[in-house]
Amino acid sequence: MVITFLKKHFKEISVVLVLLYVLNKFRVVNSSDAPLPGTTLKDDLITTGATIDNLKSQSLANILYEATANHTQFGFPATDEKAIYYVLSQLYNQADFNKVYKDFGLRKYSKDFGTASGVVTKEFDLIEILKYELNQNEIKYIRENYPHLSIF
């Protein structure tokens, strides 16, 4: 039954997949920012004064990864902005963000598909993934609503 459907609608499915790939490949993401830095972690971040413990920090890092690289909507890769905003609301100072950033570390991410898997995945840090996943309005929202966090 599935094979019959795929054979019958192969042309339409192919066009949709190619269109999605092209749209994702050429979408404008934070065009004011030059190419994102390589796959290195900032290691000089201060975590002294963090209000969250190690377990919470690791949990929030995992929520951010799920919200950016593993979230789907209607079967397609998507960004869960509400989950990102939730995590940011749990961070009371820059040391909290720095702790989550360090726990996030480098994680697999495909810029081609905006997912943790794909044809080409590389390891990126949290800031690189957020810059790729969020549009200008969402970044502006974060800057305005979480001014105590210097992320972008």
Give me the mean pLDDT over the 72-84 stretch.
87
Token pair of 22, please? 């092209």
Q: For the chain, what percentages of helix, strand and coil (3-state, to nearest 5) are there? A: 50, 10, 40
pLDDT of residue 15: 65
Contact 142, 87 (CB under 8 A): no
CA distance 53 to 64: 17
Domain assignments of the chain as residue spans, ordered by start: 2-145
| Residues 21-67 pLDDT 10s | 655 555 444 433 333 444 456 767 888 999 999 999 999 999 999 99
**pTM of model > 0.75:** no
Contact 99, 47 (CB under 8 A): yes
pLDDT of residue 3: 75
Top-confidence residue, 113 or 139 = 139
| Residues 90-137 pLDDT 10s | 999 999 999 999 999 999 998 877 788 777 788 999 999 999 999 999
**Among 79, 59, 63, which residue's Cα sits nearest to residue 71?**
79
